[in-house]
Amino acid sequence: MPLYLPIAELSMNIFLVIGMGAVVGFLSGMFGVGGGFLMTPLLIFMGIPPAVAVATESNEITAASVSGALAHWRRQGVDVKMGVVLIIGGAIGSFFGAQVFTYLRSLGQVDLMISLAYVVFLGSVGGLMFWESVRAIVRQRRGIKPKLKPREDRHKAWIHALPFKMRFRKSRLYVSALLPLAIGMFVGVLAAIMGVGGGFVMVPAMIYLLGMPTNVVVGTSLFQIIFVTALTTIFHSVNTQTVDIFLAVLLLVGAVVGAQVGARFGLRLKGEQLRALLALMVLLVCAKMGVDLVVEPTELFSVGEAGSH
């Protein structure tokens, strides 16, 4: 059944769109990730213009993060103060990210920027995750237990030296506000140019850089993602009018169902195995993007429309 998408200005099979949402939803439910880094490349691959894919996926991530954030909220798993600092940073980052996105779009280089961003960030995050999970699996087999560092030592000296210290009670932290602000900003830029929530960068940064306790990490990151992707949606809508609500809602319908099934499926696997699988998937998307950049395209020319109709 074809459905005409008024903003993307093309016709897509409605079941295909819902199916894509379901597959990505399944994977994100299984691994407990947002799935933006899978959905945006998939949309581009299916022929949706990159600008529409990124902006629309931002909109879908807002929706997909709400129920998770609410669940964590009820479990007291959100550090609101930390979240607000991360959101302020995210708003700044997203604003500038969207400006760069609009500028590069007018130059015809937005596809390149998206591909490069995916290769760099997915490559490094996927590589680290893969390395870490393989080491954990090997250690477990050998029966080695990693030594836990005492809480006081988790921060490096340079982090202690930063000014504007702030107390975050829920995270039991006394740390410079500049650090979460910078993390939020970085994630905001990624959200605007890659069409992702940025959890894959934010969660490790919260654990390893900020030293937040794990019980508030996911909730706080989802809390930030809702606001930052919402702002990103508005920025993209104002700058480029590329947010397709219909596409976003259809993807969400599939994603909701897929995520339920995926979450149940994920319970059967061990944490390290899940992380290793997720890392492989991240590296796969990265490799696909990278290969497309390096291999000589069969058609060197492309058509784009600049300006109004």
> Where do contacts with another protein occur on this chain (CB under 8 A)?
1-4, 6-7, 9-11, 59-60, 62-68, 70-71, 108-109, 111-112, 226, 230, 233-239, 241, 243, 245-246, 248-249, 252, 256, 259-260, 293-297, 299-309
Q: Give the nearer residue to another protein in terms of CB position, either 147 or 308.
A: 308
DSSP three-state, residue 169: coil
What dihedral angle (degrees, nearest 10) is formed by the CA atoms of 21, 220, 58, 23? -10
Neighbours of 239 (CB within 10 A): 17
Least separation in angstroms between residue 3's CB and another protein is 6
Least separation in angstroms between residue 257's CB and another protein is 9
Q: Give the nearer residue to another protein in terms of CB position, either 54 or 212.
A: 54
Give the total residue count for the chain. 309
Structure token pair of residue 29: 């439910």
Distance CA 283, CA 35 (A): 14
Side-chain-facing half-sphere of 190: CA atoms under 13 Å: 22
Measured CA to CA in angstroms, residue 167 lies from 76, 82, 86, 173, 174 at distances of 18, 9, 14, 6, 4
Distance CA 122, CA 304 (A): 27
Q: Give the nearer residue to another protein in terms of CB position, either 148 or 306.
A: 306
Least separation in angstroms between residue 65's CB and another protein is 7
Q: Give the nearer residue to another protein in terms of CB position, either 53 or 129.
A: 53
Spatial CA neighbour of 92 closest among 235, 243, 218, 223: 235
Q: Are the beta carbons of 162 and 179 closer than 8 angstroms? A: yes
Q: Give the nearer residue to another protein in terms of CB position, either 119 or 129.
A: 119
Q: Which helix (H) or strand (E) holds 11?
A: strand 10-13
Least separation in angstroms between residue 12's CB and another protein is 9
Least separation in angstroms between residue 60's CB and another protein is 7
Least separation in angstroms between residue 46's CB and another protein is 14
Q: Give the nearer residue to another protein in terms of CB position, either 4 or 15.
A: 4
Q: Give the nearer residue to another protein in terms of CB position, either 67 or 273.
A: 67
Q: Are the beta carbons of 97 and 193 closer than 8 angstroms? A: yes
Q: Give the nearer residue to another protein in terms of CB position, either 158 or 301.
A: 301
Structure token pair of residue 97: 């990210």
Q: Are strands 165-168 and 173-176 parallel, antiparallel or unpaired?
A: antiparallel
Structure token pair of residue 262: 């995926």
Least separation in angstroms between residue 307's CB and another protein is 4
Least separation in angstroms between residue 298's CB and another protein is 11
